[in-house]
Amino acid sequence: MFKRKLYEYTNITLGSFLTAIGVAYFVNPAKIASGGVSGIATMIYHTVGWNPGYVIFALSLPLFLIGMKVFGKAYGFKSLLGTILLSAFTSIIVEISGGKGFLDYSEPLSVWLSALFGGVAMGAGIGFVMKGGANTGGTDIIAQILNKYTPLSLGTCLIMIDAAIIFASVFVFGIESALYAVTTVYITGIVIDKVAILFRSNTAKTVLIISDKYEEISKQIMEKLDHGVTALSGKGMYTGNDRPVLMSVVPNNEIAVLSSLVREIDDKAFVIVQNANLVLGEGFMPLSKAINMQFGN
């Protein structure tokens, strides 16, 4: 449990930092409002001068509270942590850099490079945050609320919100900047998908266990590994006796522990281990995150 939590929070922290790099060092100094609260924060920074990290937090926190009200535990501590870390990292980087990026924006190519690498950094960052079972809040919450109360799909809601923010940026930065923003959003989505695929392959195993001591084995799996167990109806065709088949989905790095646990209880147990290439649900990737992976923040 400790290792899994450490892994999740490491992903959330790393992902928030990469996303902040994309915002603070690329899209913000290049005046690219690439959707989401970061896009709004970029417009406010270049018109009012407020640190985009503070703006991201100021906009995301009430949205998070609304999400808690509508969806309950779906927006737990990890998602709030993602929001806070993104805001904090962005604020710090902007303060250190003075709002300037790595590139010389007197060169037209620099804006294009910022659109490209900003999208890559934000896509990788959001992908890692989602891998940790969280999100960076923001306009994703609005999209999910619209999806809940309207017939529109989540993807359509996300596109509509990002499109509205990018359209608004036309009046702040001009049409050219808006076109760069479209490019950044597209690249961000592609990279999120790539990160998802990278971590999705063989992330867990489906384990089937046949044993006369199925009750004791299932209890130990739930208590020591903190994983659910389902008893499937089975029948031994040779004996004609009913015999439950235990099914559990376990991360790769816990297979050895599970095997040892079963062997200690019943060294005659029959165990089948299969690849589970994509696991959605409690204890793994939440269903909502699997949907969000295709769109970004």
Domain residue extents for the chain: 2-200+285-292, 204-276
Per-residue pLDDT reduced to its tens digit, 101-152: 888 888 879 999 999 999 999 989 988 887 777 777 778 778 778 877 888 7
Q: Does pLDDT of 58 surpass 70?
A: yes
As a whole number of angstroms, the distance between CA 162 and CA 63 comes to 16
| Whole-number pLDDT of residue 266 | 87
Q: Does pLDDT of 78 surpass 80?
A: no
More confident residue, 200 or 243: 243
What is the average per-residue pLDDT within 260-279?
80
What is the average per-residue pLDDT within 244-265?
81
What is the average per-residue pLDDT within 178-194?
88
| Whole-number pLDDT of residue 179 | 94
Q: Residue 281 in 3-state DSSP?
A: coil
| Whole-number pLDDT of residue 277 | 61
> Minimum mean pLDDT among 28-37, 86-95, 155-164, 269-278: which range?
269-278
- Residue 280 — pLDDT band, cuts 50, 70, 90? low
Most confident of 147-151, 253-257, 263-267: 263-267
Contact 13, 85 (CB under 8 A): yes
Task: Please list the alpha-helical segments (H only) found in the chain.
Answer: 2-22, 36-47, 52-71, 77-97, 108-131, 139-149, 154-173, 175-200, 214-224, 255-265, 287-292
| Whole-number pLDDT of residue 201 | 45
| Whole-number pLDDT of residue 114 | 94
% of the chain beyond a pLDDT of 90:
32
The chain-wide mean pLDDT, for the chain, equals 83
| Whole-number pLDDT of residue 32 | 94
Q: Which residues pair with 270 in a beta bridge?
A: 210
| Whole-number pLDDT of residue 286 | 59
Per-residue pLDDT reduced to its tens digit, 13-52: 999 999 999 999 999 999 999 888 999 999 999 999 999 9
More confident residue, 285 or 128: 128
Contact 36, 165 (CB under 8 A): yes
- C-alpha angle with apex 277: 271 to 279, nearest 5 degrees? 85
Q: Under the phi-then-psi rule, with left for phi > 0, alpha for psi from -120 to 50, and beta for the rest, what region is 49?
A: left
Return the CATH class of domain 204-276: alpha beta
Contact 51, 95 (CB under 8 A): yes
Q: Which residues pair with 272 in a beta bridge?
A: 208
| Whole-number pLDDT of residue 194 | 78
| Whole-number pLDDT of residue 30 | 93
| Whole-number pLDDT of residue 297 | 46
